[in-house]
Amino acid sequence: MEKGSIKFRLSTSEINDLMKEQTFEEKINLGVGNQFIYKIVIERDLTEIVAIFHCSSLELKVPAEKAEKWNNSNQVGIKETITTQNNETIVLILEEDLPPRKFKKK
């Protein structure tokens, strides 16, 4: 894992849902009263990825042009570095969860 990075890995069917609905959301229960929510939203008016952190949730807003290019090509993912309000950088990675490669025996 790349230090200072957040990686979203979506299956092919999840990517298809994202492109169709323009949004994808997942909730992870971490115990009683603790839930982590992450959401990916495709937006037409953006030129770069925006991350919104609030309480126990993370929303990733992705420019439609980048999402469409990713979906309609052999590009594995979208990677972008953002700067936080306190001048730290975070690398955001949105990628397709590809099946494992089979290695040939020598």
Going by C-alpha positions, the residue among 69, 56, 63 that lies closest to residue 40 is 63
pLDDT digits (tens, 9 = 90+) for 33-75: 889 999 999 999 999 999 998 888 999 999 999 999 999 998 9
Let me know how long the chain is: 106
For the whole model, what pTM was predicted? 0.82
